[in-house]
Amino acid sequence: MDFNNNNVIKALARWCLLLQVIMISSNTVALKEPDYVNMNVTIRNAMTGVIRPEIVYRCQSKRKNYGWHRSTKPGIQFSFPIILIKGETKIPAIHICNIRSALGTATLVIQNTYLDAEMCPKSSCAYEATPKGIVFRGFEWDFETVFPRLKPVEYLELQWTPWPNRT
């Protein structure tokens, strides 16, 4: 086969340019339109077996303050929706909740990525204020089975910091 070297190089250069343009434009699209997923963060009163089960709490992120809420008895909960970027696992959305009860205070730092939205469908995960402290009740992936599945988990996330003794 007899072909002109110069033409081949020109064609290659054109091809590279085209490829670059495609790559740059698809990058821009990816930056402009990430996919989002929604989930609810739930704080629930589970102060059973105590004389004063009331709790008050306020959750906030850098940009949003969800205000103080009061929950007078076990079972009452408060949820707020958060938006997470699909595919983003390294930069979590951070919400800080200040919780107060007769037993003390707790500063709960909640970090969520879209993986939590997958593990906690339909508000199935919650932070419960119990007499022991703040308990996380939700789901985690169980990889010990052939097909990974969600298994229920429950653990003490944070203990109450007792109020200073007043005389």
Q: Is 40 in the site for ligand NAG (CB under 6 A)?
A: yes
Lay out the site mask for ligand NAG across 122-141 (x = CB under 6 A, - = otherwise).
xx------------------
Closer residue to ligand NAG in complex, CB, 79/98? 79
Could you tell me the smallest distance in angstroms from the CB atom of residue 127 to ligand NAG?
Answer: 15
Which of 38-46, 58-66, 89-97, 108-116 is the region at the interface with ligand NAG (rule: CB under 6 A)? 38-46
39 binding ligand NAG? (CB under 6 A): yes
CB of 39 to ligand NAG, least distance (A): 5
Q: How far apart are CA 118 and CA 134, in angstroms?
A: 22
Smallest gap from Cβ 37 to ligand NAG, in A, equals 8
User: Which residue pairs, CB below 8 angstroms and at least 24 apart, start in 91-98?
Assistant: 93/61, 94/61, 94/62, 95/41, 95/59, 95/60, 95/61, 96/59, 96/60, 96/61, 97/43, 97/57, 97/58, 97/59, 97/60, 97/127, 98/57, 98/58, 98/59
Q: How far apart are CA 3 and CA 10, in angstroms?
A: 13
Torsion of CA 161, 163, 164, 167, to 10 degrees: -160
CB of 92 to ligand NAG, least distance (A): 17
Which 77-106 residues touch ligand NAG, going by CB under 6 A? Answer: 79, 81
- Which residues make up the interface to ligand NAG (CB under 6 A)? 38-40, 79, 81, 122-123
